[in-house]
């Protein structure tokens, strides 16, 4: 069983992307203002390609409904469904003669783009329009992008280009300015939890509520990962919280927890050694992001966190939040980073909550004077942070 294979077939079945769907449906309903280019951008696994398929089905539909015919049922009611939509429902969108899906990562040059444009601008065979969807569109070369400028400015809407990308900012501004841009965001854990509960009920999967909450939490707003994880765990038996955390790879999170504990003890050599091991299989920037996220969860823990019982010492010992945060933000802004410089990061983090100089009074023959003394402000700062956050239990 693989629940992730089945894509939503209707607009209502897409979860967590209400804003994007409203924009697309408004374009379809208006009709006469349909642009020739669309950009579907956002993190992977949240519904970009699914909505592109639904949009293509509606644009190619020759029926009366602007959002496309209803789904075929295989009964006499199919007589009211247009040939274009019937073909997609029975054989899949790839079988439609007017739809083309292109992997832009493998066809990124001028010659391939010229051929794509020529084919797309040919008259449609079965549907109302020809639609070409370019996945990983950001992979196109600058020279190839220039070929799309003129087609996107033409008035005819029988040739539609859809650019799907998880790096939309890398698409040239000249192209972005000529397309309808639709942003897809991470989905809330509550929405993902509802989706998982519905899938479990529909497919007779025995689950625990805490297990579904754990899956929605570790999926980090990515619907595909949540559904795939539910499918994987369900193949092993009843879906329990313990089984979920057995399946999920938490190696990086475990490394980050150990590093934070070492930093809390001001043991820079131990923290550096663990970080070096963690960076063997993880890009440094991703490692820093995970370390920052682990620190945030330790300061303000969330329900169903598998490391919940271990955050107490970190919250108690680590220092002022603003200092740690400034270090993380400064380092995470560097897109190209070598693992060799990670020890410098560790050193900075240790220094943030190292002993600071404060004044205290002492008596001398000439009177009372203020002198600097070493005092560790860690616990005091942690208590202040907890009070500020609402008294999180230590």
In this structure, the answer to whether residues 327 and 261 fall within a common structural domain is yes
> Contact, 10 vs 186, CB < 8 A?
no
The secondary element (H helix, E strand) that includes residue 249 is none
Give the rounded percent of residues in the chain with a pLDDT score beyond 90: 47
For residue 379, being part of any structural domain is answered with no
Q: Is the pLDDT of residue 293 over 60?
A: yes
For residue 373, being part of any structural domain is answered with no
Number of Cβ atoms within 10 Å of the Cβ of 235: 12
What is the reported pLDDT for 314?
Answer: 76
For residue 38, being part of any structural domain is answered with yes
d(CA 71, CA 331): 50
In this structure, the answer to whether residues 149 and 298 fall within a common structural domain is no
d(CA 385, CA 377): 12
**315 or 46, higher pLDDT:** 46
For residue 325, being part of any structural domain is answered with yes
Give the sign of the dihedral formed by CA 136, CA 139, CA 142, CA 146.
Answer: negative
How distant, in Å, are the alpha carbons of 294, 319, 343, 345, 349 from that of 263?
13, 10, 12, 11, 7
Region 343-370 average pLDDT: 57
Question: Structural domain tally of the chain?
Answer: 3
Q: Which domain holds residue 234?
A: 189-247
In this structure, the answer to whether residues 82 and 66 fall within a common structural domain is yes
What is the reported pLDDT for 338?
Answer: 73
What is the reported pLDDT for 366?
Answer: 44
Residue ending a domain, among 198, 232, 247, is 247
Region 178-187 average pLDDT: 95
What is the reported pLDDT for 241?
Answer: 86
In this structure, the answer to whether residues 151 and 167 fall within a common structural domain is yes
In this structure, the answer to whether residues 139 and 274 fall within a common structural domain is no
**66 or 311, higher pLDDT:** 66
For residue 390, being part of any structural domain is answered with no
Q: What is the CATH number of the domain that holds 159?
A: 3.40.50.300
In this structure, the answer to whether residues 178 and 196 fall within a common structural domain is no
Region 192-208 average pLDDT: 92
For residue 224, being part of any structural domain is answered with yes
């Amino acid at each position: 069983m693989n629940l992730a294979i089945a894509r939503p077939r209707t607009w209502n079945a897409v979860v967590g992307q209400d804003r994007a769907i409203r924009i697309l449906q408004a374009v379809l309903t208006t009709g006469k203002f349909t642009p020739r280019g669309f950009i579907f951008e956002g993190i992977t696994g949240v519904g970009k390609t699914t909505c592109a398929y639904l949009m293509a089905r509606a644009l190619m539909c020759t029926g009366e409904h602007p959002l496309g015919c209803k789904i075929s049922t295989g009964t006499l009611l199919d007589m009211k469904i247009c040939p274009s939509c019937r073909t997609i429902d029975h054989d899949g969108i790839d079988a439609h003669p007017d739809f083309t899906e292109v992997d832009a990562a493998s066809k990124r040059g001028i010659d391939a783009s010229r051929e794509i444009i020529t084919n797309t601008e040919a008259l449609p065979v079965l549907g109302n329009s020809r639609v070409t969807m370019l996945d990983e569109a950001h992979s196109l070369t600058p020279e190839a992008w220039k070929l799309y400028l003129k087609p996107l400015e033409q008035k005819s809407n029988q040739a539609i280009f859809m650019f799907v990308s998880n790096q939309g900012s890398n698409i040239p501004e000249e192209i972005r300015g000529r397309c309808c841009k639709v942003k897809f965001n991470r989905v809330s854990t509550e929405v993902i939890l509802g989706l998982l509960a519905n899938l479990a009920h529909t497919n007779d999967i025995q689950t625990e509520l805490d297990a579904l909450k754990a899956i929605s939490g570790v999926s980090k707003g990515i619907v595909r990962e949540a559904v795939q994880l539910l499918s994987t765990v369900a193949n092993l038996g009843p879906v329990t919280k313990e089984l979920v955390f057995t399946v999920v790879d938490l190696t990086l999170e475990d490394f980050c927890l150990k590093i934070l504990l070492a930093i809390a003890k001001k043991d820079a050599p131990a923290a550096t050694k663990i970080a070096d091991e963690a960076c063997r299989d993880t890009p440094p920037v991703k490692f820093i992001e995970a370390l920052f996220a682990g620190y945030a969860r330790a300061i303000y823990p969330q329900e169903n966190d598998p490391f919940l019982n271990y955050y107490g010492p970190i919250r108690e010992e680590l220092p002022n939040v603003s200092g740690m945060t400034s270090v993380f933000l400064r380092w995470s802004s560097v897109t190209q980073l070598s693992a060799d410089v990670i020890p410098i990061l560790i050193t900075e983090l240790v220094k943030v909550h190292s002993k600071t100089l404060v004044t205290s009074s002492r008596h001398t023959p000439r009177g009372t004077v203020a002198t600097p003394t070493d005092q560790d402000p860690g616990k005091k700062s942690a208590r202040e942070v907890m009070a500020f956050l609402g008294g999180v239990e230590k």
